[in-house]
């Protein structure tokens, strides 16, 4: 504490000295010069590029814009430093388009002069050098729209230990389509999703996808969620009687064994459900010109929900009896 007091006294003595007073005076002039430089700089005009949000106001509830325009305009401004400083810190003004002022022939029409005037007004009178896009034509309709079903465009496969269950589930299966002429193309019957391509799914998966309508139209909503139900596969087996086929009249084909094990994998939700109808056949025609003592076995009528289906053996011994 005593050392701090002595240090403070030394500083006071130094500042009260002639050299200390000169240093204090110099620092005061530097501070005042910096303030004056800042004020002059902020009053100078500079060029600045900014993206200004775009909003269409006073749209009647009965009107639907078929094209909503860009979310923002790319603008090049010449403005004072104070204005540019505000924009630099995120206070970017919004360009408001009054629907009532620019509607004509079922569209909003704004030329280069209109857009520059709106940008200048939003930017507090700053000089507008460039606006991109430099004009807008936004069609609209008062028609209620057409209700159209959604058709998913997808190619999806599950992993080796999983299976897709049923068709994909859509968050919305019917949407509204608005067109400028209030007429749908003759060959247009459904809105499709953007292509969905997924492989090796191991669990239920949801994707948000865009919807594709006819040209010069607007789809509401413009995107939906599509869900692919995936379940793990469970191993099962069962015995199936071997069925001789294509046996001539008066002939009998007997296989050993008479039954064979069929192994397969089934989705978890189907594990306790009734067994599907398998057929295991021994075709007499395959042994007419064969010297083998075995007949080849074939699987028939395999339910599509079963995966990785195979037999415990691909052939069986046999004898032929003739009456």
- The SS3 assignment for 189 reads coil
Tens digits of residue pLDDT in 100-118: 999 988 899 999 999 999 9
Tens digits of residue pLDDT in 29-88: 556 555 554 444 445 556 778 888 999 999 999 999 999 889 999 988 876 655 665 665
- Residue found under tokens 């209700």: 147
Residue-level pLDDT at 144: 86
- Backbone φ/ψ region at 200: left (φ over 0), alpha (ψ -120 to 50), beta: left
- In 10 A of CB 58, how many CB atoms? 11
First to last CA, the chain: 125
Can you give the residue ranges of every domain in the chain? Answer: 2-43, 46-141, 146-228, 234-322
Tens digits of residue pLDDT in 64-78: 999 988 999 998 887
Tens digits of residue pLDDT in 132-141: 999 999 999 9
Q: Which CATH class is domain 234-322?
A: mainly beta
Confidence of residue 5 (pLDDT cuts 50, 70, 90): low
- Whose CA is closest to 83, among 92, 74, 75? 92
- In 10 A of CB 202, how many CB atoms? 12
Residue-level pLDDT at 42: 45
Residue-level pLDDT at 78: 79
Q: In whole angstroms, how far apart are CA 200 and each of 155, 167, 179, 230, 313?
A: 11, 17, 39, 10, 29
Asked if the model's pLDDT at residue 165 lies above 70, the reply is yes
Residue 27 burial (10 A CB sphere; 0-12, 13-18, 19+): exposed
CA dihedral over 289, 295, 300, 303, signed as positive or negative: negative
Residue-level pLDDT at 50: 81
46-141 and 234-322 share one fold: yes
Residue 226 burial (10 A CB sphere; 0-12, 13-18, 19+): buried
Mean per-residue pLDDT, 198-226: 94
Question: Residue 75 is encoded by which pair of tokens?
Answer: 């603008």
More confident residue, 181 or 94: 94
Tens digits of residue pLDDT in 6-16: 655 666 565 56
Tens digits of residue pLDDT in 173-202: 999 999 887 888 888 889 999 999 999 999
Helix, strand and coil content of the chain, in percent to the nearest 5, comes to: 20, 45, 30
Domain 146-228 grouped into CATH 2.60.40? no
CATH number of 46-141: 2.170.120.30
Length of the chain: 323
Tens digits of residue pLDDT in 290-315: 777 889 999 988 887 788 888 999 99
What average pLDDT does the structure give for the chain?
84
Residue-level pLDDT at 97: 93
- Whose CA is closest to 76, among 68, 87, 65? 87
- The SS3 assignment for 57 reads strand
What does the buried/exposed string (b/e) look like for 91-130 if buried means 16 or more CB atoms within 10 Å of the residue's CB?
A: ebbebebebeebbeeebbebeeebbbebbbebbeebebee
Residue-level pLDDT at 20: 58
Residue-level pLDDT at 4: 61
- Residue 320 phi/psi, 5° resolution? -120, 130
Asked if the model's pLDDT at residue 146 lies above 50, the reply is yes
- pTM (2 d.p.): 0.66
Residue-level pLDDT at 292: 77
Sequence-distant (6+) residues with CB within 8 A of 36 are: none
- What's the per-residue H, E or C state across 132-185? ECCCEEEEEECCCCEEEEEECCEEEEECCCEEECCCCEECCCEEEEEECCCCCC
- Whose CA is closest to 221, among 139, 148, 137, 140? 148
Percentage of the chain exceeding pLDDT 90: 44
């Amino acid at each position: 504490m005593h050392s701090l007091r002595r240090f403070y006294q030394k500083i006071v003595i130094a500042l009260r000295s002639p050299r200390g007073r000169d240093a204090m005076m110099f620092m005061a002039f530097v501070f005042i010069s910096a303030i004056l430089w800042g004020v002059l700089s902020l009053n100078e005009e500079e060029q600045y590029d900014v993206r200004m949000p775009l909003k269409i106001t006073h749209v009647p509830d009965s009107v639907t814009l078929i094209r909503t325009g860009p979310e923002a305009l790319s603008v090049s401004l010449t403005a004072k430093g104070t204005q540019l400083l505000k924009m630099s810190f995120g206070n970017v003004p919004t360009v408001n388009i009054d629907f009532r002022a620019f509607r004509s022939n079922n569209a909003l029409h704004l030329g280069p002069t209109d857009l520059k005037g709106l940008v200048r007004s939003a930017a507090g009178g700053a000089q507008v050098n460039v606006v991109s896009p430099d004009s807008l034509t936004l069609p609209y309709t008062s028609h209620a729209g057409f209700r159209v079903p959604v058709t998913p465009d997808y190619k999806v496969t599950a992993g080796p230990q999983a299976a897709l269950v049923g068709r994909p589930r859509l968050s919305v299966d019917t949407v509204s389509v608005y067109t400028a002429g209030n007429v749908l193309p003759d060959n247009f019957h459904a809105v499709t999703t953007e292509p969905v391509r997924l492989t090796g799914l191991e669990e239920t998966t949801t994707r948000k996808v865009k919807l594709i309508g006819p040209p010069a139209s607007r789809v509401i909503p413009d995107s939906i969620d599509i869900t692919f139900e995936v379940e793990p596969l469970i191993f099962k087996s069962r015995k199936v009687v071997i069925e001789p086929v294509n046996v001539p009249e008066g002939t009998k084909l007997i296989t050993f064994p008479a039954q064979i094990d069929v192994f397969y994998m089934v989705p978890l939700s189907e594990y306790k459900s009734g067994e599907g109808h398998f057929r295991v056949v021994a075709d007499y025609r395959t042994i007419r010109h064969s010297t083998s003592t075995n007949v080849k076995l074939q699987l028939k009528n395999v339910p599509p929900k079963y995966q990785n289906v195979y037999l415990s053996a691909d052939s069986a011994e046999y004898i032929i009896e003739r009456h």
